[in-house]
């Protein structure tokens, strides 16, 4: 049975189990949305070991070479050490440029990132504050 390592945690997982499910079941808060590899919310970095990636084309070659994987599209097939996405280390800082209430229940938020975003169709953003998602 493979072992999954995150920070100082380690636990056994069933061969072929979904990486996202295994992480969330163990209390590692990995955000997710589409579970289809489109939104990229569930990015994790594999620092040791290699999962079975069912959708490698969803990431760029550079991302894959840096160890990034979409947890929703990976199966654990052997021992694996991963790092969860850290918004301070891995994120793109931005400042709030405008907050406009368009109706009592609809807010338009305009952000200015430190550097340009490379947006892909179907992708969305996960916004982090000092308190988390």
Q: Per residue in 2-48, pLDDT tens?
A: 999 998 899 999 999 999 999 999 988 888 888 888 888 899 999 99
d(CA 49, CA 45): 11
> What are the tokens at 25?
């079941």
pLDDT at 126: 74
pLDDT at 41: 84
Res 54 pLDDT > 80 = yes
Residues in Cβ contact with 110 at an 8 Å cutoff, skipping those fewer than 6 apart: 96, 97, 98, 99, 100
The residue range of the domain holding 23 is 3-87
d(CA 19, CA 50): 11
Residue 61 in domain: yes
- Considering the entire predicted model, what is its pTM? 0.74
Residue 83 in domain: yes
Query: Domain count of the chain?
Result: 1
What CATH number is associated with residue 10?
Answer: 3.10.20.30
Res 133 pLDDT > 60 = no
Res 66 pLDDT > 60 = yes
127: left (phi over 0), alpha (psi -120 to 50) or beta: beta
Residue 124 in domain: no
């Amino acid at each position: 049975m493979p072992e999954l390592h995150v920070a100082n945690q380690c636990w056994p997982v069933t061969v072929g189990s979904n990486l996202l499910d295994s992480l969330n079941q163990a209390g590692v808060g990995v955000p997710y949305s589409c579970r289809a590899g489109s939104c990229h919310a569930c990015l994790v970095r594999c620092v040791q070991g290699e999962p079975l990636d069912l959708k490698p084309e969803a990431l760029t070659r550079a991302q894959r070479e840096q160890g990034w994987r979409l947890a929703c599209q990976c199966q654990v097939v052997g021992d694996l050490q991963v790092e969860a996405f850290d918004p301070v280390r891995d994120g793109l800082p931005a400042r709030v440029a405008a907050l406009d209430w368009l109706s009592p229940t609809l807010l338009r938020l305009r952000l200015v990132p430190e550097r340009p975003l490379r947006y892909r169709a179907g992708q969305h953003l996960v916004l982090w504050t000092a308190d988390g998602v």
